[in-house]
Amino acid sequence: MSNIKVELKKYQVEQIKEICKSFGNNPDELINVLHKVQGTFGYLPAEVQEVIAQELKVPVAKVYGVVTFYSYFTMLPKGAYPISVCTGTACYVRGAETVLQEFKKELGIEVGQTTDDGRFSISCLRCVGACGLAPVVMVGDKTYGRVSPDMVRDIIKEYSD
C-alpha cells in the first residue's frame, strides 16, 4: 500500500459511511461505492478503504484488490490540475509519446506523480474517444486537441498563476 498516512476526520468517516449506506451496504455495489467515495475525496487512501470494508462487511484485502485492479481508482492524491495524456492507439501514432515526454520534462515529474507544490500531476489514459483531435491532452475537464510538444509550455502556463 502507499506510504501516505491520512488521518480521517470524524465527519469524513461519517461521509463514507453515508455513501455506503446509500448503496444499502451491499458488497455487490463495491465498485459504485468506490466511484462515489473517490468522487468525494479525490482518491482512495488505505484508511478510506478500511472504513468501506467495515461498512460493507468485506475484508480490506477485497477492497484493496478491487481498488488496485481498476485503473480509474487511485490511492495517490492528484494535483490541483491533473494532466492526462491520451495514449490510445490513435494518439500514439500521431505523436502522444513526444507530448508526454515534454510534460514530464517541463514539470520534472514522472507519470503517476504530483509536483511538490501539489499543482500538477501527470497520468496517461486510454482513449477519450476524441481520436479526430489526436493527440489529445486533458487538464481537469478541459480538452486540448492536436497537441504538439511546443504547445506544452503554454498549456502549463495557463494554470501556473
Partner 1 sequence: MTVKKKHILVCNGTSCQNVAHDEIFNNLKKELQNHGLEESAGLVRTACFGLCEKGPVIEIFPDKVFYVQVKPEDAKEIVEEHIIRGKPVKRLLYNEPETISGKESGEKARFKRKQIRIALRNCGVIDPENIEEYISRYGYEALGRVLDEMTPSDTIRIIKDSGLRGRGGAGFPTGLKWELARNNQNDQKYVVCNADEGDPGAFMDRSILEGDPHSVIEAMAICGYCIGAGKGLVYIRAEYPLAIERLKIAINQAKEFGFLGRNILDSDFHFDIEIRYGAGAFVCGEETALIHSMEGGRGEPTLKPPFPAQSGYLGKPTNVNNVETFANVPVIILKGAKWFSSIGTEKSKGTKVFALAGKINNVGLIEVPMGITLREVIFEIGGGIRNGKKFKAVQTGGPSGGCLTGKHLDLPIDYETLVAAGSMMGSGGMIVMDEDDCMVDFAKFFLDFTVEESCGKCTPCRIGNKRLNELLDKICKGNGAMEDIERLYNLSIVIKDTALCGLGQSSPNPVLATLNHFRNEYEAHIIDKKCPAGVCKALMTYEIVEENCVGCTACARACPVGAITGERKEVHRIDPRLCIKCGACLEKCKFNAVIVN
Q: Write out the residues near partner 1 by the rule CB under 8 A.
A: 26-32, 34-35, 62, 65-66, 69-73, 87-90, 92-94, 125-134, 143, 145
CB of residue 21 vs partner 1: minimum separation in angstroms? 16
Q: Which is nearer to partner 1, 43 or 92 (CB)?
A: 92
Q: Let me know how long the chain is.
A: 161
CB of residue 59 vs partner 1: minimum separation in angstroms? 12
Q: Which is nearer to partner 1, 119 or 130 (CB)?
A: 130
Q: Which is nearer to partner 1, 73 or 159 (CB)?
A: 73
Can you say whether the dihedral through the CA atoms of 124, 130, 134, 140 is positive or negative? negative
Q: Which is nearer to partner 1, 82 or 88 (CB)?
A: 88
CB of residue 145 vs partner 1: minimum separation in angstroms? 6
CB of residue 57 vs partner 1: minimum separation in angstroms? 12
